Chains A and B, each alone.
Chain A
Amino acid sequence: TQLLEQSPQFLSIQEGENLTVYCNSSSVFSSLQWYRQEPGEGPVLLVTVVTGGEVKKLKRLTFQFGDARKDSSLHITAAQPGDTGLYLCAGGGNRGSTLGRLYFGRGTQLTVWP
C-alpha cells in the first residue's frame, strides 16, 4: 500500500507552459518534502513545508501544504528544459511512523521540451 500517491505519473510539456504535480495521502504528516532527481543521481531536496496551508516559493516553483496536512502540490510556472527530472514528494512524522523516517511517493517524471 502506497502511503503517498503522486499524480500524474508522467508529464510531457513544452517550454513556457505551466504545470502542477499533486501528492495526496489519507494520513496526516507533520512535514512534507519535495525532491528532484536527475538521471544517475540521488534525489535533491527542494523544499520542506511543515504548517498546514503553508505556501513556499522557490523562483518559478510554488509548493503548498494542504490545510489538513494530508496533501501537497508543486506548481511550476513557465517550465524550462532544466526543470526536467523526477519529482518526489515525501511525508514525515505521521502517526505511528518510525522516528525520522520519510515515506516517499512513486514520483512524477517531468519532461520539458524546448
Chain B
Amino acid sequence: NAGVTQTPKFRVLKTGQSMTLLCAQDMNHEYMYWYRQDPGMGLRLIHYSVGEGTTAKGEVPDGYNVSRLKKQNFLLGLESAAPSQTSVYFCASRTNYGYTFGSGTRLTVV
C-alpha cells in the first residue's frame, strides 16, 4: 500500500541511550519531515529534507540528527536520549495538496 511507514511503533529508552527512527515512503516524494507531538504543544518541526542527500533544521532540532541517503527513507536519530524527548514522533512527506503522515512512534525515555 502506498504511504508513509514508520518503525518502530513503540519504544522505551533509558536516559543516555541512542536509537534511530525509520521513515519510509513509496510515493517518490521529494520533501520529507519529522515532527514531534506533545500535549498542548501541537506538531513541532524537528528536521526536514527537500531531497535525497539534503537535510535542514526545523524549530526544535537540538538533540536530534537526521539523514536522507535514499529518497524514500528519512532517518531520525537520538544520540543520547533525555526524558524531555519523550513524545510521539511523526514523519510526513509532501504532495502538491498536503502532507501524508505516518502512524507515529511513541517514544518514552526513562
B52-110 interface (Cβ within 8 A of A): 56, 58, 90, 92, 94, 97-104
Complex interface: chain B residues within 8 A of A43 (CB): 43, 90, 99, 101
Q: For the side of the interface on B, what is the size category?
A: 20 to 34
Chain A proximity of B98: nearest CB distance (Å) = 4
* Contact of A104 with B by CB under 8 A: yes
Q: How near does chain B come to A65, taking the closest CB pair, in angstroms?
A: 14
Shortest distance between the CB of B85 and any CB in chain A (Å): 19
Tally of contact residues, A, Cβ under 8 A: 21
Residues of A within 8 A of B4 (CB): 42
Taking Cβ atoms with an 8 Å cutoff, the residues of A that contact B are 2, 33, 35, 40-45, 48, 88, 90, 98-102, 104-107
Q: Which residues of A contact B50 (CB under 8 A)?
A: 99-100
Contact B42 A106 (CB under 8 A): yes
Q: B43 contacts A88, CB within 8 Å?
A: yes
Would you call B45 an interface residue if the criterion is a C-beta within 8 Å of the partner chain's C-beta atoms? yes
